[in-house]
A and B are shown apart, each in its own frame.
Chain A
């Protein structure tokens, strides 16, 4: 079955710098890759997603890139701000499958 690995488990960056979180997946049939942000004590919120027919997607300071050949995708956050501090999860699924396979999460710490 599908497996998703996420790195690093903790990432500390200076405010204003960029942060990059990487995920790799095992099943080449996976075609949907969302990223979620979870603040302490709350449910995860979708922040951006990408499908396999697209290589990159941007939304203001957030971008996701997908390399289907290498089977990895990455979340890029530019000009980080204190409110970006949270746990970020990646996931993968196949179009016909309603299930998401989750990464283990990355705790992002923004240092003032």
Chain B
């Protein structure tokens, strides 16, 4: 099956901890994205990558970091500098302009 996988589905973090969210795709897409979604809100872009070993900040990059060492993988680290990380995190990928989404990771800070 081709698609985008995100893990874990649910993640709990204590204050002051860094956590890493996984995103993998086997669609052979060049571009990958991370979005944050708060309850009842739209999608806000955190980071995006159009090619391996390159990525750009989105609208709300502060407190987050990413890497793109492989075409298939685009992990997102939520650092302790992100003051309000509780949200639903969505990963997407595209070969042209149509973005395809993973199932999401719900992060809760305890």
Contact = CB atoms under 8 A, between A and B. Distances in A.
Indicate whether A and B interact: yes
Contacts of B98: 34, 46, 49
A89 interface: yes
Interface in A3-56: 32, 34, 36, 41-46, 49
A74 interface: no
Given A98-B48, A98-B94, A99-B48, A43 B43 contact: no
Contact of A43 (B48, B94, B101): B101
A43 B97 contact: no
Contacts of A41: 104, 106
B86 to A, nearest CB: 15
A100 to B, nearest CB: 6
A25 B97 CA distance: 17
Interface in A37-89: 41-46, 49, 89
Contacts of A95: 97
Contacts of B45: 99
A20 B107 CA distance: 33
The size bracket of the interface on B is 20 to 34
Contacts of B65: none
B97 A46 contact: no
Contacts of A49: 98
Given A42-B104, A43-B104, A100 B99 contact: yes
Contact of B43 (A34, A42, A102): A102
Nearest 7 CB-CB pairs, A to B?
A43-B101, A104-B42, A32-B97, A98-B31, A102-B43, A43-B104, A105-B42
Interface of B: 4, 6, 31, 41-43, 45, 48, 50, 90, 92, 94, 97-104, 106
24 contacts: A34-B98, A36-B101, A41-B104, A42-B103, A42-B104, A43-B6, A43-B90, A43-B101, A44-B43, A45-B101, A46-B98, A46-B99, A46-B100, A49-B98, A89-B42, A89-B43, A93-B97, A95-B97, A98-B31, A98-B50, A98-B97, A103-B42, A104-B41, A105-B41
